[in-house]
């Protein structure tokens, strides 16, 4: 820094967080640019969502795909309530009867629709015979009429996480909209 003095240098030094003043990794300061320092600083703050590992395991995804999945709602849906709903699905913060029964909010943990099996998030959104016929109708009346969606079958993974294939934004939007509708109906 040209035309600088002691106070400027001290100010600059004080602006660096304490924990970074020691043990800075092997940085080659001469070759790094501002954005490299920025990425280093935000890397210390980045925390993965708590359900990251569960999603990876349940749907056999790699880190890149889980990251894509978390970006999908923002990419395909403009409506805040739909984005919010999809993040609730990802983070397992929807309360189906299995959980409501645990906190004694409801007395019966069976599914609201079929009344036969335990109502979990995955059951109500995909496993239930009622949601199955709902998805069948969505597939028949909407998805089969959209050129880019025709080749894709609606699996459990597609319905919960979304599809990462090219040009599937509309498919992913319809699936989020369908889940939200089925959950609130
Ligand atoms: Zn059911």
pLDDT of residue 25: 62
Q: Give 64-88 as a DSSP string.
A: HHHHHHHHHHHHH---HHHHHHHHH
Q: Calculate the alpha carbon distances from 153 to 32, 135, 139 in Å.
A: 47, 11, 8
Q: How far is the CA of 18 from the centre of ligand 1 (A)?
A: 55
Q: Give 15-53 as a DSSP string.
A: TS-GGGSSS--S--TTT--HHHHHHHHHHHH----TTHH
pLDDT of residue 41: 74
Nearest Cα to Cα of residue 151 among 130, 167, 129, 127: 167
pLDDT of residue 23: 59
Q: How far is the CA of 163 from the centre of ligand 1 (A)?
A: 24
Instruction: Supply the DSSP symbol for 125.
Output: I
- Residue 146 DSSP SS3: coil
Q: How far is the CA of 130 from the centre of ligand 1 (A)?
A: 6
Residue reference for tokens 């996480």: 161
pLDDT of residue 22: 61
Q: How far is the CA of 8 from the centre of ligand 1 (A)?
A: 67
Please state the φ and ψ torsions of residue 35, each to the nearest 5 degrees: -65, -25
pLDDT of residue 2: 66
Q: How far is the CA of 129 from the centre of ligand 1 (A)?
A: 6
Q: How far is the CA of 66 from the centre of ligand 1 (A)?
A: 28
Whether the CB-CB separation of 92 and 54 falls below 8 Å is answered with yes
Report CA torsion sign: 136, 138, 141, 145.
negative
Q: How far is the CA of 4 from the centre of ligand 1 (A)?
A: 71
Q: How far is the CA of 134 from the centre of ligand 1 (A)?
A: 12
Q: How far is the CA of 169 from the centre of ligand 1 (A)?
A: 28
Can you list the residues of the chain whose pLDDT is less than 50? Answer: none
**Spatial CB neighbours of 137, under 8 Å, sequence gap ≥ 6:** none
Alpha-carbon gap, residue 172 to 185, rounded angstroms: 20
Whether the CB-CB separation of 117 and 128 falls below 8 Å is answered with yes
Q: How far is the CA of 146 from the centre of ligand 1 (A)?
A: 29
pLDDT of residue 31: 76
Q: How far is the CA of 20 from the centre of ligand 1 (A)?
A: 53
What is the residue-averaged pLDDT of the chain? 86
């Amino acid at each position: 820094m040209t035309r600088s003095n002691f106070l400027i240098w001290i100010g600059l030094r004080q602006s660096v967080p304490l924990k970074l003043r020691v043990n800075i990794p092997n940085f080659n300061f001469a070759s790094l640019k501002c954005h490299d320092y920025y990425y280093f600083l935000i890397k210390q703050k980045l925390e993965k969502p708590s359900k990251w590992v569960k999603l990876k395991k349940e749907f056999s995804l790699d880190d890149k795909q889980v990251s894509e999945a978390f970006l999908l709602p923002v990419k395909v849906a403009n409506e805040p309530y739909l984005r919010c709903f999809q993040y609730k699905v990802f983070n397992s913060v929807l309360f189906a009867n299995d959980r409501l029964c645990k906190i004694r909010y409801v007395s019966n943990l069976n599914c609201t629709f079929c009344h036969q099996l335990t109502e979990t998030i995955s059951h109500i959104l995909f496993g239930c015979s009622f949601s199955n016929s709902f998805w069948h109708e969505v597939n028949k009346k909407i998805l089969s009429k959209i050129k880019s969606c025709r080749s894709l079958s609606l699996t459990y993974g597609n319905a919960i996480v979304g599809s990462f294939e090219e040009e599937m934004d509309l498919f992913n939007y319809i699936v989020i909209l369908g889940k939200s509708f089925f959950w609130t109906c």
